[in-house]
Amino acid sequence: MLNVEEVAKMMDLSCVRADNTLDEIRAAADTAKKYNCIAVFALPAHTPYLAKLLCDRPDILIGGTVGFPDGGATTTGKVHEAKELLLMGVSELDMVINIGWLKAGDDEAVASDIRSVVEAAGSIPVKVIIECHYLTDEQIVRASRICVHAGASFVKTGTGWAPTGATLENIELIARTVGDDCHVKAAGGVRDTETLLAMHRLGASRFGVGAGTAVAILENLGSLK
């Protein structure tokens, strides 16, 4: 079974809700420092504050969000947002696809949207959020394939804003679809140790969780040893 240190290194602590406060962002940064989590994410306006909090810990990645939460911004807008976040010092980007285009069957527009952000990011990994809650299994498969072809580093299940996110079923479906060509990030609905470990067995290698959930999972995992 994975140990506390291994799980912490797969956790992206998330403060990307509209109502997350600066105190909550600070708590997430403190939690990441305590447990050596891999990354912390905040909304763009709060990214400079997050970077300041983590300036003494270069081993903890600063995550940036592009097109949150709906993915409906123009491609030009997403590219500008990505470039601005890079100037703020982010080490990873999590972007939301244009869900409407995907559901309409305009796969090339979806791919171009992703590819433009990937190109703007350069060597910075881009995790692409497909927001599974709104998709059929066929659309999840299609979206995952588009992400691979557009150069995404990860396919991510959700923003955490939709009613549901990661499930065992959609993690297995995405992992089977992308194979070794892309990684899988589970987010939205990862709330306990058993679920996280089960999703890891199915192919997820990164997990987006809130700071409080991260502490509960890691403390529980430590007690199982």
Q: Is 36 exposed, middle or buried (0-12, 13-18, 19+ CB in 10 A)?
A: middle
Q: Which of 12, 78, 113, 156 is catalytic?
A: 156
- Reply yes or no on whether 156 is catalytic: yes
- Interatomic CA distance for residues 211 and 216, integer angstroms: 9
- Interatomic CA distance for residues 129 and 116, integer angstroms: 15
Q: Which of 12, 94, 113, 127 is catalytic?
A: 94
- Reply yes or no on whether 225 is catalytic: no
- Reply yes or no on whether 181 is catalytic: no
Q: String of b and e for 137-169 (b: at least 16 CB within 10 Å)?
A: eebbbbbbbbbbebbbbbbbbbbbbbeebbbee
Active site residues: 94, 156, 185
